[in-house]
Structure 1
């Protein structure tokens, strides 16, 4: 995102709203690349999110500009969240002089809504704010502005309230990071019922007017990775941006081992910035923008692929089509038993530790929806969307017939799962702890029938249909 510095930069309004998909790596191979087509303009792109069969890419622009794609390659159908020339009234008090150009949005699905975070500021000032708007559907939006999430008041050492980014941790919690130059970067947990912050902001990196901004955090295995940009942006072919990464064993830091991830210039790509990560089919797709040296420095969307080698991300663009890496796409799911057609749920919509997991007719409640979260190791946590507690093998048992319940997530093997594809598009859900699979007791087709773990038999009461809930 554009940053207020002591050196005048070109006004952001002159920068076209462009979007990029990028993959993380310590070196960039330019032999092959995913060739994005259509409306590929983007600056400070959001994490790519999907509603139904449509991907959405939000980016800097009037009204919170976005474009869409059905395949991550061909982009078009532009739109805006707010009608151009209008914005929520609270912005006028928070940021006097705001003119409708929203910076660096980010998007995430939480429960029954999609949330889009956005920055409001004026060029060269740290008097800024971040707001959030939500809708039950992106394909058929009904936007509700939730108000201001965090602000800065113009102080020289404040964390500047721009460049929001959100991600879901292995335990189902969502964290919000933001910041730029001035006081550096901060992070806080999000209240998933309204999109606001659930705790005070913790400073995690930078400060003292260091040239750092646009944070994005992800987790892989035991490490949290903080991506950020250094240098001055928004100068087209003269952009100084490069993307770096540091890591920590805590989301709150300290983050150490800073190293370069995307250099300032590779081939026709200049000044890459603003990482977002889409975890799809076991692959990590990274979205960023870059200035195209072959197109007068226009800012565009780029997609590359990220892997992790020896505990650090590596980036490649050596692929020409979206592919599967042999895993499950992160997201919100319901699970339907093949034999009964009933859904896995937390019984009676309980939010208590130890609440039983059963099957029941699908009613659409959050107690019947589950976040599937990729841990980057071939294992997944499964977090109930109502309680935010983990699917858990009772009492860490390896016995056949052990009960399945929910419990506060603690990351042990009794709360980690693998998905094994079986015929007909179904999966077995296998405990990493025991090697047993989820089983509807006695092949019952009744509501409230218990779910337990049992050795795989190939029976239909051990087969589940995963349905994305958009």
Structure 2
């Protein structure tokens, strides 16, 4: 199955203020400013909220003092890197960057690929801090090629309860995978665990720990088919970071299981590209009244009886 990732032309985006249009629920934040996005990864460093995002000019960046009013920043590696060309046709396009701070440094995994192609790579960059922005690229840390059972895109860095780092990733093909990360090199190593799959399409894994469980969130369906987009966010939980992840009905996510968390609304449809920081989930939805551009949504994430909810 092919993976078709959707990009927007950022030069035409500018800033958009939707204010009350975002009040889809009591816990959904009211956002203003630069809110057009795709595959947003959120992280709060100090008093500043940061988002990195899919972009066709390097790695897109937004920042906010309060998580509500967003400003578009300067792209990371906006001129592109030479090694990207073998995976994305020598363009500057980067998909689904995942940003964190761990062990005293900022780290970011990101993907380079081409539409519908399995020749893909996950790259790694590090910096002194997100705010300082002195990013140094470390090259590709996972690659995939035609014939593999996975696609090396949509990375997510996660640390388990014992302090061991991991990287989840994957899109279509045989689904979502998880690999241990070397704490010194930050490069994945060892066994590749298969966590989830779905015949309708699955990608964008994000794992968090809460209480006795690990929770795997994924985006399922078609992300970018305009009015026909079927993207939605689903989840399951496990007592082990390596699975099995079961939904509320006890169905293993490897077998297509997953409880729906967000399926969108009347105007803003097809939510996906989710990430979580400081108890808030960020994702994009497509604006059906504005050429199906991806729009930023943030909501407080709660847990009720051991299951996530808004």
TM-score higher than 0.5: yes
TM-score, normalisation: structure 2: 0.86
Aligned residue for 1:4? 2
Structure 2 distance, partners of 1:222, 1:32, is: 24
TM-score, normalisation: structure 1: 0.58
Unpaired runs of 5+ residues, structure 2, are: 14-22, 248-257
| Matched residue SS, 1:101 | coil
Q: After TM superposition, give the deviation of residue 214 of structure 1 in Å.
A: 0.8
Determine if contact 1:16/1:43 at 8 Å carries over to the other structure.
no
Q: Does residue 296 of structure 2 align to residue 301 of structure 1?
A: yes
| Matched residue SS, 2:209 | strand
Pair 1:83–1:239, CA change in 2 (3 A) = same
| Matched residue SS, 1:229 | strand
Unpaired runs of 5+ residues, structure 1, are: 19-27, 316-470
Q: What value does the CA root-mean-square deviation take over the aligned residues?
A: 2.3
Structure 2 distance, partners of 1:83, 1:293, is: 29
Matched ranges for 1:326-345 at <5 A: none
Q: After TM superposition, give the deviation of residue 194 of structure 1 in Å.
A: 2.5
Aligned residue for 2:226? 236
Structure 1 distance, partners of 2:85, 2:118, is: 15
Q: Does residue 40 of structure 2 align to residue 37 of structure 1?
A: no
Q: Does residue 84 of structure 2 align to residue 91 of structure 1?
A: yes
Structure 2 distance, partners of 1:96, 1:31, is: 41
**Structure 1 runs of 4+ off > 4 angstroms?**
15-18
Aligned residue for 2:18? none
Structure 1 distance, partners of 2:197, 2:10, is: 28
Q: After TM superposition, give the deviation of residue 32 of structure 1 in Å.
A: 6.9
Determine if contact 2:43/2:276 at 8 Å carries over to the other structure.
no
Aligned residue for 1:256? 246
Q: Does residue 202 of structure 2 align to residue 212 of structure 1?
A: yes
Structure 2 distance, partners of 1:31, 1:227, is: 22
**Deviation string, structure 1 residues 406-464 (Cα, Å, up to 9, x no partner):** xxxxxxxxxxxxxxxxxxxxxxxxxxxxxxxxxxxxxxxxxxxxxxxxxxxxxxxxxxx
Determine if contact 1:98/1:120 at 8 Å carries over to the other structure.
no
Q: Determine which structure has more spread, i.e. the larger CA radius of gyration.
A: 1
Pick one of 146, 149, 172 that aligns with 1:154. 146
Structure 2 distance, partners of 1:16, 1:186, is: 30
| Matched residue SS, 1:181 | coil
Aligned residue for 2:273? 274
Q: After TM superposition, give the deviation of residue 159 of structure 1 in Å.
A: 1.0
